[in-house]
Amino acid sequence: MHQHDAETEVLTQAIVRYAVDRVRLDPPPLDGPRTLVDLQAMAGSTITERGLGGLEALRIFGDVLAQACISVDHPRFLSFVPAAPTEAAILFDLVVGASSIYGGSWMEGGGAVYAENQALRYLADLAGLPAAAGGVFVTGGTAGNLSALIAARYRWRQRAGGSHDTTRGLIIASKGAHSSVASAARAMDADVINAAADDQGRLRIDALRALVDGLSNPDRTRVFAVVATSGTTNAGVIDPLAGAADVAGELGAWFHVDGAYGGAGLAAPSVRARYVGIERADSLIIDPHKWLFAPFDCCALLYRDPSAAREAHTQHAEYLDVLHEEDDDWNPSDFAHHLTRRARGLPFWFSLATHGTLAYRNAVEQTLTVTRAAARLIDDAAHLDLIMEPELSVLLVRRVGWGPAQYRAWSDKLLADGVAFVVPTAWAGEMVLRLCVVNPLTTLDDIRLIVDSLRS
């Protein structure tokens, strides 16, 4: 299996050709899901004693399995938070895989870590974090939020000098916070209480203060983190970060900002002022695989004081001692709840290094321009209601007179016809439509096509 022979050379050429052809499809196929029964009939048993051979396995993937996956880089994939990786980032992802780099330690992957840290520095500078800030690329926002909150709790317990070693910690977040915050609390066996949000899902600072004021003294001492969101997933709104930072400071608690989706807007001058207060974060996450044109999976986790995270996360074992002999080595595995890690920040770094930060600024601004124009198009359509003005690149839309059955039928037909992927969401107890624009190749004509399809 490990020898390169004539058969492997043929497979090599076929795989590279497949990858390059897929990258350059314009647009890529939207494709769509298939049932388990369909896949069993079309692909059959793919794991056999003697193997299918590389070309046959590649054929099954290309002809069957890949076509049963929706292409998140399609310009009319507007559900959830799509992705739009640059060609440079995708191609370099092939290089990362081929290079067999272990990205967990400086000893084994110093060159890769150096490059990743330059990409992290770009994001830290966008947020206005201090020169000492740093962190690591993890798999996604869920891993990033969990790791940041583990560091927050560790600092809280360390500062308490042992008095909170067995105390169940408490996190304060907004009702609009991402579900991963509650998931992190369950994993940590911590509690979460949610402050009320306004009618657009944005944290209300008056409600946050009222919640804190209503805590008993024992509960106030349990608070180890305040979590705010810069770009809620459902509505794309930014919490009042400065106000949340004030409350965290008054409590002596860690201030964490979840910018998994919306943090990329920091690159756009037209919305940068909306993030005031983010520079006060103790930790921050931004997912380049969402709105900064990197392939899956890539979440930047940044700490104001990385030493606090290192103390919380460094694993100690005899075979790992050699990695910690030099105190100034930057070992990415020390900054999150992982040990083994891929150098997943490298495709993002390569794209940034290739295109430059100005191109990134312009690309994010392009998606915002299309979103604003789409809002006007929707507002002018008699059969649609724009639920709120977009703050970033999410549009919430009501189809006048429709109920759940009509939304679902329309969404299913749109995907089955290969037109677009737009699914309903819930807003204030009502089913509505949600469109998220993060692909610079998405045009106003793409949105117009969807608006027109909603007329019938």
Q: Give the CA distances from residue 222 to residues 165, 185, 191, 217, in Å, rounded to whole numbers and listed in that order.
A: 11, 13, 9, 9
Compute the distance between CA of residue 77 and CA of residue 168 in angstroms, rounded to an integer: 42
Q: Which of 151, 153, 147, 121 is nearest to 134 (CA)?
A: 121
| Domain 357-453, CATH | 3.90.1150.170
Distance CA 76, CA 374 (A): 13
- How far apart CA 41 and CA 363 sit, in angstroms, is 42
Q: Which residue has the tokens 């949600």?
A: 434
β-pairing, 394-399 vs 384-386, is antiparallel
454 in Cβ contact with 410 (< 8 Å): yes
| CATH 3.40.640.10 in the chain, residue ranges | 94-354
CB contact set of 302 (below 8 Å; sequence gap of 6+) = 120, 123, 124, 127, 129, 133, 134, 135, 281, 283, 284, 285, 286
- Give pLDDT tens digits for 258-296: 999 999 999 999 999 999 999 999 999 999 999 999 999
Task: Dig out the tokens for 312 from the structure.
Answer: 């919380």
Question: Which residue ranges does the chain devote to CATH 3.90.1150.170?
Answer: 357-453
Among residues 401, 437, 403, 364, the alpha carbon closest in space to that of 450 is found at: 437
pLDDT at 324: 80
d(CA 138, CA 147): 9
Tokens for 390, please give them.
């977009």
Assigned token pair, 443: 């045009």
pLDDT at residue 116 in the model: 98
Q: Report the alpha-carbon distance of residue 107 to residue 136 in Å, rounded.
A: 16
Q: How far does Cα 417 stand from its chain's mean position? A: 28
Neighbours of 299 (CB within 10 A): 27
Low-confidence ranges of the chain (pLDDT < 70): none
In which region does residue 201 sit, left (phi positive, over 0), alpha (psi from -120 to 50) or beta (all else)? left
Q: Are 226 and 247 in contact (CB under 8 A)?
A: yes
DSSP H helices, 214-277, are: 217-222, 241-251
Q: What pLDDT score was predicted for residue 320?
A: 87
pLDDT tens per residue, range 82-99: 999 999 999 999 999 999
Q: Indicate the helix (H) or strand (E) that contains 37.
A: helix 36-43
Q: Tell me, what's the pLDDT at 318?
A: 85
- The half-sphere exposure of 402 on its side-chain side, counting CA atoms within 13 A, is 22
Q: DSSP per residue over 278-342, as a string? A: GGG-SEEEE-HHHHS---SS-EEEEESSHHHHHHHH----GGGGGGGSSTT---GGGGSS-SS--
214-236 per-residue burial string, b: 16 or more CB within 10 A, e: under 16: ebeeeeebbbbbbbbbbbbbebb
Query: In a 3-state reduction of DSSP, which class is residue 428?
Result: coil
Domain 94-354 has what CATH class?
alpha beta
Q: What is the pLDDT of residue 328?
A: 74
